[in-house]
A and B are shown apart, each in its own frame.
Chain A
């Protein structure tokens, strides 16, 4: 597709389970970002990838959160031992390269609900 694709679109899981969220950026985009959004709120930065490297992981809330990117394309955000406070919409964005003046193209997000 032409845009950023995220899967699954919705995920409901029990507290304590691990979850994996996937992001397919726009082809050719080297910069990839993960954000978290609580209901009706602004976005909280989690992690930034340039190619397969993550120069900025400063937004990851705890060591239960990790992310990787392979082949300079697909990225996976993993949350281990999920807690109820992890419930949110997780958004992925990409841009051609990391530059402050470039727009970020967002996927529609994964809505994660922890029971």
Chain B
């Protein structure tokens, strides 16, 4: 069964260090999302791609976070420098939405649980 792949599953890093997460969406899914989920809360969008283009990064802390999806397939989310408040689950999701407008369900990966110490 097709699934969204994320790595690593767990990451512990010291504050001020750089950290990167990788996501490979389901093949053929044009829309890719990075969400951040703080413990006890619902996911909140960081960045949304349609193919290789960013369509929403309004909640991405751009002074320290960056995201790319160079070939419109897999994606990398980077934090530099990491802060204690960045400790959270980072979830990647994709949906089959060729135009970006279709209302289809998003499929999530297992997430990367980040702990900043």
Chain A partners chain B: no
Interface residues of B (CB under 8 A from A): none
Interface residues of A (CB under 8 A from B): none
